[in-house]
Structure 1
Amino acid sequence: MADTGRIVVGVDGSAPSVRALHWAVRQAALTGDSLEAVISWEYPAAGWTAMVAAVPTDFDPEKLAAQILEDTLKQELGPEAAAGITKTVLIGNAAQALMDRAEGASLLVVGDRGYSGFKATLLGSVGLHVTQHAPCPVVVVRGRTAD
């Protein structure tokens, strides 16, 4: 019997990333691959704190990202299934973080867009970047069309 692989899925809590998560869970069940859910975060451009009235002194973006990932997995899959998924929180650009984690993976799965302001595009910037540069096959899970 061959060794199982690893499927990496980008999860940021958005509806497209949730669809990608469900797709990746089904694929992992079919192939026997392990599943790794990845979320990344980065500090906004310099000077952002001057625009915010009061940033709490205990604000921890890494902890917030980890909580978003954990909550999304538990809410969508249930606590037991969520416990069986490797959770990775990285600082940095989302596309680069996903590509770094996809090194050696059998598959990278992303939604067609995450949280951004460009809803009119067919594919978000992360999806576009990883489809062109990822070190493994990529699946982009598209949204549903209206009936």
Structure 2
Amino acid sequence: MSEPTSDDRATDTPRPPRVVVGVDGSPGSRAALVYAWAAAARRGADLEVVATWSVQTVWVGGYPLGVPSISAVREEMESRVQAMVDEVRGDPAVAAVPGAADVRVTTAVSVGPAAQELVDASADADLVVVGNRGRGAVRSVVLGSVALHCVTHARCPVVVVHPSSTGHARRRPVIVGIDGSAASRAALLAGVAEAARLGTDVVAVTTYQMADHWMALSTVVVPTAEEVRWDLQRGGEAMLEDVLEEHRTGSGGRSPDARVVVAEGAPADILGQWAAGAALLVVGSRGHGALRGLLLGSVALACAMHASGAVMVVHPLPDRAPTGTTQRATVNA
């Protein structure tokens, strides 16, 4: 029998869970770091803090002006990241979370686009956390380019942290938007797991809008609002029970309390209203919208842009990179 290769050994060795957070010194990225640290503590996960910078050379009269020293910039960036890590370590929102002091924190500082670095890191991460906007060129946009790129392309769930969602408030529910799609089932499974970690309950919200037919109603059969609500309630409860049973299988038979709510209105508007009183809003990356080929659906995008608090966007499970094989340069913090 042949000896196992190094790749075989790496694949067979379970890796600890891993949370990745992007920081750039902005208030939004600090809020993201607080959230990510608490999330790592509740998962028993390692935390990787990612920061990047770009080298921009200005040419004047045929000569480069202001060529930076890469090593000096890296040292300065590493110092700033470490200072943020040390400051957040003592934040009350972090210190109050059981296990926060035991989180293994590493930093990764590199040259290049932040969005691509975070997407690359998501290949073997359990969660990516970003602020809703940072130090980008267009400071007034509601959702920054890094956050948008991550929620669209990351290969694991992404939490977009708005400034009001620093830390976690207990006993506020986790809200999950469902519509019967595979992506919404993945979101519900993730939402149930988050609620279990937070010690709170789950509210699965599904919505409907009655069509305004531009024709004689005598020629079409239109279900009543009560029939629509009953059908959605029954379908939502069936999905919820199926997801809860899957969660119980891997958690010793335990699951958080959960219920289904059916509401009339536009999905993004309804979910935004529920998010205002939630610990977390969870949505699938795309659902049963008209444009099925989009990487990010309109509801997920609207929630990530406008919902208050923290918003988790969950993609259907992709092919993940083999665990233990991805090499990343990190520094213990």
Q: Specify the TM-score bucket, using the shorter chain as the normaliser.
A: 0.7 to 0.9
Aligned residue for 1:8? 20
- Please show how residues 61-76 of structure 1 align to structure 2 within 5 Å: 61-76=73-88
CA contact (8 A) 1:8 1:35 kept: yes
Gaps of 5+ in 2: 1-13, 91-100, 165-307, 309-333
Could you say if the C-alpha distance between residues 82 and 124 of structure 1 is closer, same or farther in structure 2, counting changes exceeding 3 Å?
A: farther
Q: What amino acid maps onto 1:140 in structure 2?
A: V
CA contact (8 A) 1:40 1:94 kept: yes
Aligned residue for 1:28? 40
Aligned residue for 1:88? 108
Question: What is the root-mean-square deviation of aligned Cα atoms in Å?
Answer: 2.8
Q: Percent identity?
A: 37
- Please show how residues 1-147 of structure 1 align to structure 2 within 5 Å: 4-47=16-59, 50=65, 60-78=72-90, 84-144=104-164
How many corresponding residue pairs? Answer: 140
Question: Partner of 1:65: helix, strand, or coil?
Answer: helix
Question: How far did residue 84 of structure 1 move?
Answer: 3.4
Distance in 2 (alpha carbons) for counterparts of 1:128 and 1:16 = 14
Could you say if the C-alpha distance between residues 5 and 58 of structure 1 is closer, same or farther in structure 2, counting changes exceeding 3 Å?
A: closer
CA contact (8 A) 1:9 1:21 kept: yes
Distance in 2 (alpha carbons) for counterparts of 1:56 and 1:91 = 12
Question: Partner of 1:12: helix, strand, or coil?
Answer: coil
Distance in 2 (alpha carbons) for counterparts of 1:136 and 1:15 = 24
CA contact (8 A) 2:23 2:33 kept: yes
Question: How far did residue 140 of structure 1 move?
Answer: 0.5
Query: In the TM superposition, what whole-angstrom CA distance separates every residue of 1:53-101 from its partner, at most 9, and x where no partner exists?
Result: xx787972111211111111112214xx599311111111010111112
Could you say if the C-alpha distance between residues 43 and 122 of structure 1 is closer, same or farther in structure 2, counting changes exceeding 3 Å?
A: same
Question: How far did residue 47 of structure 1 move?
Answer: 2.9
Q: Which one has the largest radius of gyration?
A: 2
Question: How far did residue 23 of structure 1 move?
Answer: 0.3
CA contact (8 A) 2:51 2:109 kept: yes
Greater relative contact order (CA < 8 Å, ≥ 6 in sequence): 1
Distance in 2 (alpha carbons) for counterparts of 1:15 and 1:72 = 11
Question: Partner of 2:124: helix, strand, or coil?
Answer: coil
Question: Partner of 2:136: helix, strand, or coil?
Answer: coil
Question: Partner of 1:114: helix, strand, or coil?
Answer: coil
Could you say if the C-alpha distance between residues 88 and 82 of structure 1 is closer, same or farther in structure 2, counting changes exceeding 3 Å?
A: farther
Distance in 1 (alpha carbons) for counterparts of 2:102 and 2:43 = 18
Distance in 2 (alpha carbons) for counterparts of 1:31 and 1:38 = 19
Question: How far did residue 4 of structure 1 move?
Answer: 3.5
CA contact (8 A) 2:46 2:103 kept: no
Q: What amino acid maps onto 1:69 in structure 2?
A: V
Distance in 2 (alpha carbons) for counterparts of 1:115 and 1:57 = 21
